[in-house]
Amino acid sequence: MKKEREDWTRLYYKTLKGIEVMIDVQKIVKDLKKIVEETNMMITEMEGMILTVSINNRMINTTNITQILEDLQYVI
């Protein structure tokens, strides 16, 4: 009887330990999910900045080329 009770006690504590591990894993997954969401937001912001810079550079290049063409017309 005593051995059977010890076996059940051991199984109980082993089960509790397993539940604690599962809770820890769930917390880690939740934290990782937050980090991934923040990273996605930063990537989206960076893509927007890159697009804005690209458009600005294209406009500046177009303006510069137009100015060079006008200057060449005056030279010729």
Q: Domain-by-domain residue ranges, the chain? A: 1-76
Q: What pLDDT, on a 0 to 100 scale, did the predictor assign at position 40?
A: 96
**Could you tell me what percent of the chain has a pLDDT over 70?**
99
Name the average pLDDT for the chain: 92
| pLDDT tens column, 20-48 | 999 999 999 999 999 999 999 999 999 99
Task: Enter the tokens of residue 68.
Answer: 């060079």
Q: What pLDDT, on a 0 to 100 scale, did the predictor assign at position 70?
A: 87
- Residue corresponding to tokens 């082993």: 14
- With a threshold of 0.75, does the pTM exceed it? no
Cα separation of 19 and 59, whole Å? 60
